[in-house]
Structure 1
């Protein structure tokens, strides 16, 4: 299959430029498209044929539910049983945007979309191309991330092409994704409020509207058989490059110490070692810096006003996370040592992805 790429400016495009994608989806084909979080691989949420094609292209397990994307609340009403007032207010506050909410699904949504669950995960993207595509199509789009399962999510059209070339007919290239990590997924309809997956809307923001909301693991809800998994991204290992990841959680000094000890341990294996740091200024010995088999990668903001500014920009780290993990593979790195960040605000989503990708976690 030939994979065509259409490059569009999300701030300057015409609806006619989306017509090819619309026609494909109406024929039960699938299309990759940009959202504000990551690129999605979408097909009609009403078509079992299209959804099966998504599973096949990604190599995605069929018991992993998908998110359904809508363009307005009228479309939401057509695919869920009810919209409680509490949830409607959340929709009005956070949509369009990177928040996915669980609802009791209507019979219009095939069971294959929800992996047989009675609930459906729904969100309204804010990316102009995604929103216009759904609105023009006139039906909701079922779409997981547009990557091979277990690989880092795609935040650029090139990432989609690298993974899915020859497997899908069309990629809409709308540039890099602004948020860089997937949407936050919440469930507020079963007598409690819980974040199933942290993402683009942080816990602190949600607590302004839902003071009682907690993280999934903190509530121990995963111990309930009927509750696992209710959300995309809970059951399987995700977000991993081919390289082994060793995640270091602690102070800058602790990270620097672990670089030395881990480098001494792993260099004897004659492998390519990567070091990803999130603070701009860290102490790395000349021996490591001069080693051609050691690659240093800075994941953070390059716009610090002075070299003495060693703060981190969690939003920039989130935006560049998946691109950096893909760069690890491009540089043929075998093992990468990663500096963790605080799990406050969007840092919670970043650390969630790194912990799920890591083979080993070392804490101070």
Structure 2
């Protein structure tokens, strides 16, 4: 991780907290990606997130809370399985879907009766939440914050990405706290624990850095896969996390068909593991990706943004191993490719 970017000052963080309390937007770093934040209890401010991103208003947001927050301020109940996961993974890249306390406006949950809560581990995010809580009569603060990018596009892992995405907003409309690149690089794992009263346990709605195996070690069983009644959550659309340049996935067996596409002309990029011998040159550029999932995830979105700026006709990405450790990366790449299918 680069350590040359200075952390925001206390004055910067206080200014950001005051802006949030005034109903304005603030982009801030977390360990996963940069978030576009607004006061979760202010429906007008939250609607500002939807407008800025071009996000459908029925697509729920995640509310970020500080360590030690009173979760019953936000959720109607916190079942034992949620308490286990909180003890194991908070602060950290895990979002829990809980029954929403009716006092919390449903703007943050896309009209659903649930709410997504996460306690980030990034020190700037924690400091911002703490300062905001001090400004609240209740002493409780929540920042609704999806990724700080236009809806459906590649998530930002650096402040420069946020500035690129929202060049249409002035500094008065959006304050950006900068603190270097995100450490995890992909969005949080999302686990639904809102239906334990119906006999259901934990349900994994979005894979992430906290894996199903890690969750199973804590709660004693593998989280279930989503069913038809699962709440809608961030990043659950088939097509998401997509660059603007068309992207396709390939495996070694499909290389001949891919070579035929490469031969049709136009400068194209190939992202592959070092174990795959290069088979294209001349007009095409070859990029070797990280061999293990955490490093791959950390660079994934920054890589897609770099390739987007390369003026390629097409981006080809080798499929990652179909193993549990690669599940989150495969999820993001699959949704990115789905944006260009059909």
Say whether the fold is shared (TM-score over 0.5): yes
1:159 corresponds to = 161
Matching of residue 212 in structure 1 with residue 232 in structure 2: no
1:307 corresponds to = none
Contact 1:185 1:196 in 2 (8 A): yes
CA shift for structure 1 position 180: 0.4
Aligned-pair Cα RMSD in Å? 2.1
Structure 2 Cα separation of the partners of residues 141 and 343 of structure 1 = 35
CA shift for structure 1 position 203: 1.3
2:107 corresponds to = 112
CA spacing shift, 1:275–1:160, aligned 2, 3 Å: same
Q: 1:179 aligns with which of 171, 177, 184?
A: 184
Matching of residue 44 in structure 1 with residue 53 in structure 2: no
Structure 2 Cα separation of the partners of residues 200 and 247 of structure 1 = 22
1:328 corresponds to = 307
Q: Secondary structure at the match of 2:87?
A: helix
- 123-132 or 236-245, larger mean C-alpha shift: 236-245
Which structure 1 residue ranges, 4+ long, deviate > 6 Å from structure 2? none
TM-score scaled to structure 2, two decimals? 0.89
Residue ranges of structure 1 left out of the alignment (5+ in a row): 1-6, 250-254, 301-311
Contact 1:155 1:176 in 2 (8 A): yes
CA spacing shift, 1:54–1:215, aligned 2, 3 Å: same
Structure 2 Cα separation of the partners of residues 343 and 127 of structure 1 = 30
Structure 2 Cα separation of the partners of residues 124 and 27 of structure 1 = 22
Structure 1 Cα separation of the partners of residues 77 and 163 of structure 2 = 38
CA shift for structure 1 position 241: 0.7
TM-score scaled to structure 1, two decimals? 0.84
CA shift for structure 1 position 41: 0.2
Cα distance per residue 1:113-136 (max 9 Å; x no partner): 101111000000000000110111
Q: Secondary structure at the match of 1:112?
A: helix
CA spacing shift, 1:266–1:280, aligned 2, 3 Å: closer
1:267 corresponds to = 263
CA shift for structure 1 position 265: 2.6
Cα distance per residue 1:137-194 (max 9 Å; x no partner): 0011000000011111000111111101232421111100000000000012322221
Residue ranges of structure 2 left out of the alignment (5+ in a row): 134-140
Aligned residues: 324
Structure 2 Cα separation of the partners of residues 145 and 161 of structure 1 = 13
CA spacing shift, 1:215–1:337, aligned 2, 3 Å: farther
Matching of residue 9 in structure 1 with residue 6 in structure 2: yes
